[in-house]
Amino acid sequence: MEALENDRFLRALLREPVDVTPVWMMRQAGRYLPEYRATRARAGSFMDLCKSPELACEVTLQPLERFPLDAAILFSDILTIPDAMGLGLYFAEGEGPRFEHPVRSAADIDRLGVPDPEQELKYVMDAVRTIRHELHGRVPLIGFSGSPWTLSTYMVEGGSSKEYSNVKGMLFERPDLMHKLLDTLARSVTGYLNAQIAAGAQAVMIFDTWGGILTPRDYREFSLRYMEQIVAGLTREADGRRVPVVLFTKGGGGWLEAMADTGCDALGVDWTLDLADARRRVGDRVALQGNMDPTVLYASPERIRQEVVTILESYGKGSGHVFNLGHGIHQHVDPEHAAAFIEAVHELSAPWHQ
């Protein structure tokens, strides 16, 4: 493997000195880019796009052609694992993800196997290999997965949900079943992320999109515990470098301390926290990734710069911060505004690293 031209993303995740604050954007390969929409139209369905390593590579690289981003992130979906388990993932027009066979009973859970990443999920590993090759060492490649709890919400509800009554019903009434399902998922995610690392991912991120709908007790027991299990089972070195792990629980601002104790390297934080507070709370245990409100990208470039200044000031001096949005970039954002954002981070962060 060739040496990285730009490794400031990996360095910041490990709290090593950097020249400027690295930046990438959640969902940076997405619908706000006309070239993405063109590839998506050629691909057919969203899952067709995910399942074609060549097209997944193409859209992964698109934002890097436009912007001096400090990392690439695998283009894929968090629901590839349940799909590989045979639940029949599909996307109903304008309705989000759905499963043909939701998981509701002990028998449904018993039936679930741990997918072999190089068999049922080979298309993801092929995408990782293709992207890593095509990056030619420009920037690191991030692999990712949904958290076990988050995957279980979709699997038990059969798709997106407002009340989560089925999955919480299982959690409240049959915690034994819930734990069995989450353990199967944790083992699946561990194998999946390790395979991504073997295929070339240089950092991995676990998205716990729905951890924030739980009580603190249930979060620890049903979400955090399984992320900790995954972190403990991950390959932490590849090509002679540490592979950093980032955990992100949306709405998990109250639990940063516990998240920082899982053995991960960094935490994603949304915009409902001040980075200064977050940094004080996690100390030097982990780096922080975030946390601009993605809606700011609808504002003028001048206003975007002002928000970047505020967030840089809030984090303060030194390494350990990866600039990002607190959630995925919105689809109607003008790409020129994303460009202004990324430029502002690089330009305005230099003094904080002197």
Amino acid at 6: N
Q: Which stretch binds its own copies (CB under 8 A): 92-100, 102-110, 126-134, 160-168?
A: 160-168
- 293 lines the binding site for its own copies (CB under 8 A): yes
Nearer to its own copies, 134 or 293 (CB): 293
CB-based contact 136:2 (threshold 8 Å): yes
SS3 string of 246-268? EEEECCCHHHHHHHHCCCCCEEE
Q: Which stretch binds its own copies (CB under 8 A): 7-15, 86-94, 158-166, 186-194?
A: 158-166
Q: What letter would DSSP give residue 2?
A: P
77 flagged as catalytic: yes
- 160 lines the binding site for its own copies (CB under 8 A): no
Report d(CA 252, CA 110) in Å as an integer: 31
- 113 lines the binding site for its own copies (CB under 8 A): no
Nearest 5°: phi and psi at 314? -65, -45
Report d(CA 98, CA 87) in Å as an integer: 9
Which of 144, 271, 323, 341 is the binder for its own copies (CB under 8 A)?
271
- 95 lines the binding site for its own copies (CB under 8 A): no
42 flagged as catalytic: no
- The CA–CA distances, whole Å, from 262 to 221, 223, 255, 275 equal 13, 12, 12, 20
Residue count at the site for its own copies (CB under 8 A)? 32
Nearer to its own copies, 29 or 214 (CB): 214
Q: Which stretch binds its own copies (CB under 8 A): 5-13, 28-36, 135-143, 165-173?
A: 165-173
Per DSSP, the residues of 300-351 read -HHHHHHHHHHHHHHH-SSS-EEEEESSPPPTT--HHHHHHHHHHHHHHHGG
289 beta partners: 268, 322
Which of 44, 169, 316, 351 is the binder for its own copies (CB under 8 A)?
169
Q: Which stretch binds its own copies (CB under 8 A): 14-22, 36-44, 159-167, 345-353?
A: 159-167
- 318 lines the binding site for its own copies (CB under 8 A): no
Smallest distance from its own copies to CB 328, Å: 11
Site for its own copies in 192-251 (CB under 8 A): 212-217, 251
- 296 lines the binding site for its own copies (CB under 8 A): yes
- 168 lines the binding site for its own copies (CB under 8 A): yes
**Beta strand 89-92 with 96-99: parallel, antiparallel or unpaired?**
antiparallel
Smallest distance from its own copies to CB 97, Å: 16
- 183 lines the binding site for its own copies (CB under 8 A): no
Q: Give the rounded distance of the alpha carbon of 211 from its chain centre.
A: 14
Which of 274, 335, 339, 353 is the binder for its own copies (CB under 8 A)?
274
CB-based contact 241:200 (threshold 8 Å): no
Smallest distance from its own copies to CB 310, Å: 7
287 beta partners: 266
- 321 lines the binding site for its own copies (CB under 8 A): no
Nearer to its own copies, 261 or 277 (CB): 277
Secondary structure of residue 234 in the 3-state scheme: coil
Binding mask 249-268 for its own copies (x = CB under 8 A): --x-xx--------------
- Non-local (6+) Cβ contacts of 94 within 8 A are none
Catalytic-labelled residue, pool 15, 32, 36, 154? 154
Nearest 5°: phi and psi at 104? -130, -20
154 flagged as catalytic: yes
Nearest 5°: phi and psi at 156? -80, -40
Nearer to its own copies, 29 or 296 (CB): 296
111 flagged as catalytic: no
Residue among 121, 86, 113 nearest 101 (CA): 86
Report d(CA 119, CA 109) in Å as an integer: 21
Count other Cβ atoms within 10 Å, centred on residue 257.
Answer: 11
> Which positions are catalytic?
27, 31, 40, 77, 154
Chain residues that interact with its own copies, rule: CB under 8 A: 163-165, 168-169, 172-173, 212-217, 251, 253-254, 271-274, 277, 293, 295-296, 298-300, 303, 307, 310, 330, 332
